Amino acid sequence: MTRVLVLVPTEFELRKLQPLIADSVAEANGIIMTCGFGPIVAGVTTAQLLAKVTPTKVVLAGISGAIGPRFSVGTAASFSQVACYGIGAGSGSEFQTASELGWTRWNEATATPGSQDILELGSEPASFRPWRSDSTTDSGEISADSNHQPLLLTVCAASANSTDVADRLKKFPQAAAEDMEAYAVAVACRMANVPLTVIRGISNIAGDRNKAHWDVDAALKAVSTWFTPDNLL
């Protein structure tokens, strides 16, 4: 049985990250695979891999864009909360979430309208810690209060500008970064009852599409510092 399944969204990220973490993952009796780009493919692929390799733990690792001032480019962080933006009605300033529409996203006995907008990742600690590529850390921790806990927002399309970012923060003011896979992977893991850890490197500031300002290598190097024996247990 595979103990740890490490998922990386794209081959581009995998080529950069795998050489940095392969030995640690192998020592933990783990494997590294891609889950695909975007929430649809990532969710479906994760469900298939969970059924095929039956891991005891899943780690999702890759890049993301910072929302707000909590992160700088070249750092990485774990998240205990993930949310979904883009599934609902309307767009831009008129967008309504599933919660606002009164819908549940999937059939679950304990679900109430809106309760699935934000998913708690049970494998994550209450505190929050960013990693930097030089392995130093921020001196502070974010409160465990869910209203202040930084949240990773999974989107169907990355922010193109500051207006997109502002629209997302109106719905999820605690959002600290955006990605395109974590919520879908979290749903698949929840349905399979497999714990999930999400580690995202900050490669850019959300809304800035000028890749001259991005630093993917530093972001993924920061991600790699999480892959220690203790964290992979």
The pLDDT tens digits for 129-182 are: 567 665 444 433 333 344 457 899 999 999 999 999 999 999 999 999 999 999
pLDDT at residue number 104: 77
pLDDT at residue number 107: 72
> The domain spanning residue 121 has which CATH number?
3.40.50.1580
**Other C-beta atoms lying within 10 Å of the C-beta of residue 51:** 10
State both tokens at 65: 């864009």
How many structural domains are present in the chain?
1
H helix or E strand, kind and range, residue 196: strand 196-205
d(CA 34, CA 8) in angstroms, rounded, equals 5
H helix or E strand, kind and range, residue 26: helix 11-27
Domain residue limits at 12: 4-232
Give the three-class secondary structure for 71: coil
Give the three-class secondary structure for 226: coil
- The pLDDT tens digits of the residues spanning 62-119 come to 999 999 999 999 999 999 899 999 999 999 999 998 888 888 777 765 565 555 788 9
Is residue 80 within 8 A of residue 217, CB to CB? The reply is: no
Record the pTM. 0.89
